[in-house]
Structure formats: C-alpha cells, structure tokens
Structure 1
Amino acid sequence: MARNPALPPPELLRLAGAGVLDRWELTAREVWDDASFDVLAGHPDPEIREALAQCPGATGEQRARLVGDLSIRVLHAVLEGPPSRWSGRLPDWAYRRLAAHPEPVVRDMLTLLPGVPREIVALLTRDPQPGIAAAARALLSPVPAGPETLGREQAAAFAADPAPWNRARAAADPDLPAACVPALAADESPQVRLALSMRRGLSEAERAAIDHPMPESTPILDWVLAAGPAELRDCALSGHAGLRRSAACHPELPAGLIAALAADDDPAVRLLLCEHQADLPGELLVRVLLAGGGDDLLRHPAFSGTGLAALASSEDPRARALARRDPAAPASLIERLSHDADVSVRTAVAGDGRLPVPRLLQLFDDPPTTGAASANPLLPRPVMDRILATGHRT
C-alpha cells in the first residue's frame, strides 16, 4: 500500500507513524507526487527521511527539499543519492546551499561523495576549514592516469614476489622494468597474466601473445578512463575485451565508438556501456535487460518502452513481463499477461493501471500477486480502507 500512488498523503503518513513502513517499501516506490514526498520529508523519524533521500523514484528536485534537514545522516543520504545511476541529479542550488552549511562535516561531504559539480568544488577551495579547502583543491587538480605507482625498484621486487597478488600489481604498474615483462607473461598465475595483458603501452600483438583468461568481470582501468581520443579509440577497438570494457565506461566516449561497442560480442562490454553512457539505442537497452541487466536500466534516459508490446508473445517470461512497459500497450494485452502461466509476469502487470478492476481484484485475492496488486492505483477505495484498518486483504 505504501507504494500505491493513489494512497492519500495523510494515510501514507499514518502508515509511517504506525511503524509498519521499512526502508525497502519507500525505496521501492516508483513514482512520488510532491504531496506524498513532502508529508514524509517532515516525518520525525530520521530513518524515514534518510530512506526518502535515496528513493530512486523521487526526482532530484524532490530530494533536494531535504537539504535543510537537521540530521547529518539525512544530509549524507541526500548527497550520496539513490543507488540508481540514472535517478535525477540534485539541482545546483542544493549543492550551493550545502556548500554554505555551518557544519564543517557537511561541507566536507561535498569533497568525498561523487556527483558534486566542479563549480561547487571550486567554491570550497576558499572554505575557512583548511582541510576542506585542501581536499577541494586536490579534486580540481589534474589526476595522473592509472593507480599510484610502486616505483621502479619496488615494482621489480613485487614482480618476483611469491604472492601472486603482488606480482599482479607489479604487472599492471607503469614503473615495471621492461626486463620483468617476459617472466610475468609466462607466470603460472592467470591473475598475473591477465593484469599484464591489460597494462598500458602494449601493442595488440603483444597483448594477444599473453595467454590470459577472460573472466566475466575485469577491473575498470584508470588509464583507459583518462585516455585521449586516439588512445581511447585503440582501446575501444582492441581485441582485448578488458580494454573494451573500460572504454565503455569512458566519460567522453564519442558516438562512433558507442555504436561499435553496442555491437560488441562481449556481454560485459554491452552491460557497462548501458550503465555508463546516456546516449544509446533503445534496442541495446532491451537486449541487455533481457540478458540479465539490472532493473536500474529501466530508468535509463534512452529507455522509452515504445514497441515493447511485441514481446508479449515471447517464450521468455522476462520479455513478456517487459511488454507491460510499453505505454501504448492496450488494456486487453495487459489483462492477457495477467493470466500468464509465469507468476513473475502476473506480478509485473498486477500494479498496472490499465488492468480492468475485476481482474485486479482477482490478482489482489491471489497471495503471490497480492502485494503487487496493492500498489495498483485502481484498487478500489473500500479495499484500501480495509487494508489500512486491518492490515489484511480480507
């Protein structure tokens, strides 16, 4: 019920006051109207306000209304934001207000948490607290590509270390002497050979000559993220999937390379591209979602839902569940999906406002879909009142 957009704000506040709402129920709500958000933004329990500050379904403007909160935990949650990468960002005025906060610990958060606009960090370089000003200046200073280097002597020592994780660190270190490379290329540890194969400065032939594994996930390489246009192109078109995965995360990846990586045969490349790039073909997002990509991609700016109704006849239940995301899907299709043999599909459509009310009530009475149906805005008010009064569906 807490996720039902038709629940009146006073009733939502009453549920919160009764202690029956947990953090998950709040963060799972897909859409927040201003009245419902504001009524909980004034709730006396800071845990409720903290959860509200990290709701992926709330807009950045809504979450920014909590910047005057008296709880440091709530302000931290506001700055940290929702776990969804594609939730709306805070407006600049919210950052400016926090940059002028009287508590140094709040201003310090702005130098520690991601997403703070560069101009706000610049304001903090004049902060009266020397530590905050120094941290802000460090953020604005050019950061060298790659991790902290070991130095030539220590890199050589690590290359001969018995521990494979130290040899792997040496293999990736830019200060590694060239004389150490042949031994590491034949190292008994796959971890070491993989690290060496992804080091900067190798030719494609040199990378291919290293017998390295290709696990499902590889580290995102700092030197690739900092690469200029020519080097970035080489990485995006490399035969080494580890380099292409890192290139997919580059903050300035051009359209041509996005198109190339969208057609990549490595699933991790396509997933990372969807997680880090805003300007993508919608078809790629659907493919990645159906391959197991997280539901956070449903909030991706390139996800429109247009044409997804065609998936209703798929043999894959995940595809059939996705069909209801099509804004043009007719009510008849939604009802048909509500009778699907797979409970995950029935659950997916139980909260859809296009369901005929009689079918909605049937789903509400069926325990596996009761919860999802409770969030449907067409749930009749007498049923809502009964739930609010008793906590039960009957």
Structure 2
Amino acid sequence: MSHPLRGLARNPALPPSALLRLAGDDRVSRWDLTARASWTDAAFDTLAAHPDPEVRESLAQSPGATGDQRARLVGDLNIRVLQAVLEGPPSRWAGPLPDWVYRRLAGHPEPLVRDLLVYLPGTPRDIVALLARDQHPGIADAARALLDRKPYEPPSLGRDQAVRFASGGSDWDRERAAADPALPSEWVAALAADPSPRVRLAVSTRPGLTEAQRAAIDYPADAAPPLEWVLAAGPAELDRCARSAHPALRRGAACHPDLPADLLAALTADPDPVVRALLCAHQAHAPGELVLQTYLATGDDDLLRHPAFPRTDLARLADDPAPEARALVMLDPATPPAVIEQLSHDPSGPVRSAAAADARLPQARLLALLESPATAEAAAANPALPPRVISRLLADLGVR
C-alpha cells in the first residue's frame, strides 16, 4: 500500500540519521529502505552498519548500489549477508564487484562461503584456480571439475535406453529420447512424425540436422526454447544457428555470450519478438532503440537498467498514447520542467507518480502532489523536497 514514508526512504535528500530511524519503523519494509536508484556513500554506510543482518542483506542486493559500495559489506560476519553480496542485485545489469572481493572471500574461514564462490557465475577463473587448491576436499574437487570442464556435451541415456524411451507410451520419455544424441537415425525419423507436438519439437532442435530436415518437421514454433548446445556453439555453428529458420536456434543464438556484431545486427531485425527480447536481455551492446521498444512491448523493468537504454530524446514521448511511454519522459535529463509539470496532470496514475518524483517539477506542484494520497509516496521521494518539508513529514508521521 502506498505510504509517504516509503517514498521518504527512497529520497536521496533524506539525512542518513533519518534513514536510520526509518529502518526501525514497521511501516517501512527492508525493500523500501534499499530500493533507491542510487546511493550516496554516507547513506549506504549508514545502513551497512545497521545491527539487523536482514537490513544489510537487502542493502547488499540494492539495485542502485554500485559494485564498490556493495563490496564494503565483504567483511560482514553474517553468512547470508556475504551470500547476498556475491549474488548481487536481481538485475542482469548490476555493476560488478571488484576483483579483490573474490580474492578476499577465497580465503574466508567459513567453507560455505568458499563453496559458494566456486559455483557463482561471476567468479573470475583465477579465483576458481585458487580454490582448486582449497584445504576442503569437496571445494577443491568442485573447483577442479569446473576448470576441467570440456565443451558442452549433451547428456545421453545411451543407445539401448534411448530406444526404450522412444518406443514407450509416455510423451515425456519420447521427448527425452528425441533429444538424445545416442538415438539411432531410424528412431529420429520415426519421432519426427510423433503425434505429440513436444516430441516433434525436441526432434527438430537436434544438433546436426539440416535446415531442410528441420523444416520438414511439424513442430510448435511458439514453444521453442533457447537450447544449451546453441549457447555453447563455436563461431561457425553459431552463425548457422543465428541464420536458421528455426526459432529455437535463433533464440539460443540471441543469448550466446560471444555473439559477434554481425549476428547481433542480424538478430536485431528478427521477426520473432522472443528473439529480440532475449537479445536485449543478454547482450549489452543491443541497439538502444531496440531496448526501448522491447521495454515498451514487454514491461521488463530490468531493461531500464540496460547499459544501452536511451536516456536522451525521450521528451518526444510526452504525447505518446501509451502511458508506459509517457512515464519514460522523466528519464531524459533534457526534458523541460514545463513538460514534467504537464505530465504531473496526466490521466495515468503511474505517469503522474513518475512526474511527482522528478526534481525538475515546480515546487508548488510538488507540494500539491504531496497532499494527494495517489501521489504522496512518489512526491515524498522527490530529491527537491525542501528539508523543512521532510522534517515536517517525519514529525507528522510519528518518526522519532
């Protein structure tokens, strides 16, 4: 439920001492305390010293904290806080931790922390190599296995079991067999005409098939997921996948960690919206206009943190028929205050709230929105809110 205290908790103009008082107020959740878009060092350090480890855990995963700020919690004595530091914010585009954090935690006395480092996707390879010599046998073995991992090899049932599964009455068994690399070619051909759409889809995504062979299978294109073997494809195979008529192959290519610029450009114009959405979700160099249009089509808030998301020329959206587009106008630093004021009267509540939180909003209008229950929380988060008003709000709301 909307409440001005939640907005104050996100307000960068709130004094750190007041932030600390809000941290003890039951009307403000830990997420409210840590959901701000950016942190001053003073405010971050205030909550980093909070006695409640759940507050520090939430702070470690704040979407607005930089990697350097989150690293300040690396000396925390609580294991869950350290785990939150390593896992980071729930955003693909969060700033990375400094390398020294991994090196320091690789020598942590608690085996659970060192074990977590082994399996964390962001752990640098030289740290994994260090953990391969860990005194704990399980940690060392896991690190060595990771270092010795070969190129992707699909799991196999073996020929005999794959045939048993292929001839069974269970759709799940036949689907499993259809993707198995050990399945004999005659069974692959048989399952390509299976009555189950799931089975036919699994056959159609086998590596090694020609485009003609895939096209001959009646598979459900809308259900096609990205494929692990495509994610591990080398340059030549990746090129074939990105240019395939099969959407599952192109969707996998869009997620590939080493997608080259020419294939990125080709997939940017892909007719499949899922391919374009995956491209934006996984590729830092996706075109800004594509990221913007994908956000408007999907509402995926994480795209607002995408490094390519455009922050200029958004004022052109002030008269867009979609409220989701009009709400983006406030992200443009060049938007005139008059346009912000105009949008503060918008018929859409989310648009009015976005305008209410903007520091360019004329003060008289800001104070008016602070008095309206529908926009009070957003207005309370406005960094241009005068200190006297912040103090009055805290007193009126009983924050001691």
TM-score range, shorter chain: over 0.9
Deviations 1:77-102 (A, max 9, x none): 11111110001011101111100111
Matches of 1:287 and 1:145, distance apart in 2: 34
Residue pair 1:245, 1:269 contacting (<8 A) in 2 also: yes
Per-residue CA deviation, residues 205-241 of structure 1 (Å, 9 max, x unaligned), is 11111101122x5432111011111100010011011
Q: Name the counterpart of 1:238.
A: 244
Partner of 1:224: 230
CA RMSD of superposed structures (Å): 1.5
| SS of residue paired to 1:29 | coil
CA displacement, residues 147-182 of structure 1 (integer Å, 9 cap, x when unaligned): 422111111111122221221111112122111112
Question: Paired residue for 2:164, among 127, 147, 157?
Answer: 157
What is residue 64 of structure 1 aligned with on the other side?
A: 71
User: What is residue 4 of structure 2 aligned with on the other side?
Assistant: none
SS in 1 for 2:374: helix
Q: Are 2:373 and 1:329 equivalent residues in the alignment?
A: no
- For structure 1, the 5+ residue unaligned runs are none
SS at match of 2:375: helix
Task: Please show how residues 253-332 of structure 1 align to structure 2 within 5 Å.
Answer: 253-332=259-338
Higher mean alpha-carbon deviation, 301-310 vs 61-70, is at 301-310
Match of 1:29 in 2: 36
Are the equivalent residues in 1 in contact too, given 2:201–2:224 (CA < 8 A)? Answer: no
Deviation per CA, 1:259-290: give whole Å up to 9, x if none: 11111111111111111111121111111011
Partner letter of residue 217 of structure 2?
A: I
Query: AA paired with 1:387?
Result: L
Runs of 4+ in 1 over 4 A off after TM superposition: none
Tell me how far apart the structure 2 counterparts of residues 193 and 387 of structure 1 sit (CA, whole Å): 63
2:340·2:355 contact (CA, 8 Å) conserved in 1? yes
**Superposed CA offset, 1:291-311 (max 9, x none):** 114111111111231111111
State the distance in 1 between where 2:384 and 2:358 align: 9
- Residue 81 of structure 1 is matched in structure 2 by 88
Q: 1: CA distance between counterparts of 2:224 and 2:396?
A: 51
How many matched pairs? Answer: 392
Partner of 2:3: none
Deviation by residue 1:122-165 (Cα, 9 ceiling, x = unmatched): 11111111111111111112334254221111111111222212
Q: Which amino acid aligns with 1:263?
A: A
Is the contact between residue 220 and residue 246 of structure 1 (CA under 8 Å) also seen in structure 2? yes
Q: CA deviation at 1:20?
A: 3.9
Whole-angstrom distance in 2 between the partners of 1:367 and 1:139: 54
The AA in structure 2 aligned to 1:105 is L
Task: Identify the structure with bigger relative contact order (alpha carbons < 8 Å, sequence gap 6+).
Answer: 2
1:140 aligns with 2:147: yes
Does residue 110 (structure 1) correspond to residue 117 (structure 2)? The answer is: yes
Is the contact between residue 23 and residue 30 of structure 2 (CA under 8 Å) also seen in structure 1? Answer: no
Is the 1:324–1:349 Cα contact (8 Å) retained in structure 2? yes
Equivalent residue letter for 1:153: D
TM-score (norm 1): 0.96
Q: What is aligned with 2:60?
A: 53
The question of 1:251 aligning with 2:262 is answered no
TM-score normalised over the length of structure 2: 0.95
Alpha-carbon distance change, 150 to 26 in structure 1, aligned in 2, over 3 angstroms: farther
Tell whether the 8 Å contact from 2:311 to 2:331 is kept in structure 1 after alignment. yes
Equivalent residue for 1:209, pick from 190, 203, 216: 216
